[in-house]
Every structure is written in structure tokens, then in C-alpha cells.
Amino acid sequence: QLQLQESGPGLVKPSETLSLTCTVSGGSISRSEDFWGWIRQPPGKGLEWIGSIYYSGSTYYNPSLKSRVTLSLDTSRNHFSLKLTSVTAADTAVYYCARADSSGYPESDFQNWGQGTLVTVSS
């Protein structure tokens, strides 16, 4: 059974870089059918897609965050990562990693989700 688990600091200072990792167990992140994504949810608000990455390393970002986001993956460790630079209080949110079984297309829904991790931006 595929499981995803986010990890990283729960508190980040304004202007610094938010870094999270999603470790995948019960399956490989190298499957050609899958995209791996990050979605966030500010407290009490809706969902926002941040971006997705393919096993080949191809990345797709939300234009609203593109200038500050970098996704990467490490197939040897079976995990993928998110970096968000120059954070502000508006980046405070629960960050989810997720898998899209999409036959190799980034436009997809997400079948498997991590439990989410709250990241607070505050000095």
C-alpha cells in the first residue's frame, strides 16, 4: 500500500526558505505513470496546487509561485522535495504531498496523499 509522509521544519522565519521532503513507501517514485505533487492549504481555507514533478525530473509549477518554487526528486532515496524561497506569513499552510497516477501527464487528480504538515512562517 502506497504511503506518503511529509517532513521538515514546522516553523520558518520570514524571508527564509521553506524546505519539505515527501518520503514514499510501498512503491517507487520512478514509475513512468506517476506525477508527484505538492498542494497547500492555509488554515481554514481551500486548496492550492504548488507544482508537480515527473520521475524524469520534469517540473510543472503554479505560475503564482513559480519564481519561488523548486521541486526535486531523489530516486535512490525514493523521496521528492519542495523548496519555497522568500516566505512570508501568507505561506503559512498545511503542505501536502501527493501522487497522481496520470499515464505521464501532469494534468491529473491526486489518488494518494500524505497526512500533511503545518508550516508556520513567523519570526
Partner 1 sequence: DIQMTQSPSSVSASVGDRVTITCRASQGISSWLAWYQQKPGKAPKLLIYAASSLQGEVPSRFSGSGSGTDFNLTISSLQPEDFATYYCQQANSLPLTFGGGTKVEIK
Query: With respect to partner 1, which residue has the nearer C-beta, 10 or 46?
Result: 46
- Which positions ≥6 away from 91 have C-beta within 8 Å? 12, 18, 40, 84, 119, 121
96 sits near partner 1 (criterion: CB under 8 A): yes
Q: Which stretch binds partner 1 (CB under 8 A): 8-16, 23-31, 62-70, 76-84?
A: 62-70
Q: What angle do CA 3, 7, 10 make, to 5 degrees?
A: 140
- Which residue type occupies 62? N
Give me the least distance between CB of 62 and partner 1, in Å please: 4
Please give the residue ranges that form the binding site for partner 1 (CB under 8 A): 37, 46-49, 52, 60-64, 96, 98, 106-111, 113-116
